[in-house]
């Protein structure tokens, strides 16, 4: 453990809606190369989302600061007012109360205390991050990396539409983030993440031990409506620690704000000198091997 170089990570998440957030957090807690400095939650019922995060942290035996963040987008209405998977919290010990109204300040203070060292991993709508970048415009330059599960870029996978949930959840915050001068900004879009999925019966087989056990309880709520888990957010997280899982290309990302029907749509133009990197391909087998290696 002492010989492992640990990467400092802040996680911003809407855990409690799609099951992949919990799958992602379990991975970060299980990976000894991840130094998880803190967690902020976003969208409706942010406290319940924080409680879910704390259940996994308690089981992992780590004291990670958790802050409920913004429950409403900057300008549009909230499309995700509830955290349905919190229904399964009764089975797992968790923290009940959290410091409220301090999520953005916590992110700001933590990044400023570790200039050039923190990777900010965002796996939900970008309200907290948009607020952070507007309140303190120097913060983007102080990050080591910004890695986002956000957007649709290549449209190479049949069945993927032009809109992605995190980007459209707060389109104005999404635009703020993509316009900010981050040294390394990486996006893993829906067109790539949809290539890593697992049917419910396989999830039930694989998620039987350790940190994956509470995730399975949360997943049973998810399975009432869908019988598949797509590993959107875990894929984004694994790219922090294994450069071979996804390939990336540089370009420029712009966000649609004018059209009501496509607000939050991401436009990507390849440009080797562009400020953004987007995932182009994924090695699905390598991803699953890497992910589950931490739960054997």
Tens digit of pLDDT for each residue in 265-276? 999 999 999 999
Which CATH number goes with the domain that contains 174?
3.90.245.10
Per-residue pLDDT tens over the stretch 72-129: 999 999 999 999 999 999 999 999 999 999 999 999 999 999 999 999 999 999 999 9
136 found inside a domain? yes
Within a domain: 91: yes
Domain residue limits at 191: 7-295
Is 1 part of a structural domain of the chain?
no
13 within some domain = yes
Q: Does 2 reside within a domain?
A: no
Judge whether 24 lies within some domain. yes
159: pLDDT strictly greater than 70? no
Is the pTM value of this prediction over 0.85?
yes
User: Is residue 57 assigned to a domain?
Assistant: yes
Q: Is the pLDDT of residue 2 over 60?
A: no
pLDDT in tens, 167-219: 999 999 999 999 999 999 999 999 999 999 999 999 999 999 999 999 999 99
Residue 284 forms part of a structural domain: yes
Q: What is the DSSP string of the chain?
A: -TTSPPEEEEEEE-TTSSTHHHHHHHHHHH-TTEEEEEEEE-SSSHHHHHHHHHHHHHHHT----EEE--SS-SSSPPS----GGGGGGGGS--------S-HHHHHHHHHHHSTTTEEEEE-S-SHHHHHHHHH-TTHHHH-SEEEEE-------STT--S--HHHHHSHHHHHHHHTS--SSEEEE-HHHHTT-EEEHHHHHHH--STTHHHHHHHHHHHTTT-SEEE-HHHHHHHTTT-TTSEEEEEEEEEE--S-STTTT-EEEEE-TT-SEEEEEEE-HHHHHHHHHGGG-
How many domains does the chain contain in total?
1
At 226-250, the pLDDT tens digits run 999 999 999 999 999 999 999 999 9
Is the pLDDT at 258 greater than 90? The verdict is: yes
């Amino acid at each position: 453990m002492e010989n492992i170089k640990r990467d400092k990570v802040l996680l911003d998440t809407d855990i409690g809606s799609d099951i992949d957030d919990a799958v992602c957090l379990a991975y970060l807690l299980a990976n000894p190369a991840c130094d998880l400095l803190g967690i902020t939650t976003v969208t409706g019922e942010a406290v319940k989302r924080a409680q879910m995060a704390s259940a996994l942290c308690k089981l992992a035996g780590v004291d990670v600061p958790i802050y409920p963040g913004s429950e409403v987008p900057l300008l549009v209405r909230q499309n995700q007012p509830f955290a349905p998977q919190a229904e399964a919290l009764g089975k797992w010990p968790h923290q009940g109360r959290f410091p409220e109204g301090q999520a953005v300040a916590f992110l700001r203070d933590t990044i400023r205390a570790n200039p050039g060292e923190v990777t900010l991993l965002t796996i939900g709508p970008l309200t907290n991050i948009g607020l952070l970048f507007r309140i303190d415009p120097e913060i983007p330059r102080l990050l080591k990396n910004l890695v986002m599960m956000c957007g649709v870029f290549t449209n190479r996978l049949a069945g993927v539409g032009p809109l992605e949930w995190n980007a459209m959840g707060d389109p104005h915050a999404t635009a703020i983030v993509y316009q900010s001068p981050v040294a390394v900004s990486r996006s893993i879009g829906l067109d790539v993440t949809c290539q890593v999925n697992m049917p419910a019966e396989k999830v039930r087989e694989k998620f039987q031990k350790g940190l994956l056990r509470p995730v399975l309880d949360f997943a049973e709520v998810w399975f009432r409506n869908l019988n598949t888990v797509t590993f959107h957010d875990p894929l984004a997280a694994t790219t922090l620690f294994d450069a071979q899982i996804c390939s990336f290309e540089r370009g420029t990302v712009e966000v649609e704000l004018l059209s009501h029907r496509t607000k939050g749509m991401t436009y990507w133009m390849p440009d080797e000198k562009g400020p953004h990197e987007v995932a182009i391909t994924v090695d699905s087998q390598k991803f699953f091997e890497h992910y589950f290696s931490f739960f054997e």
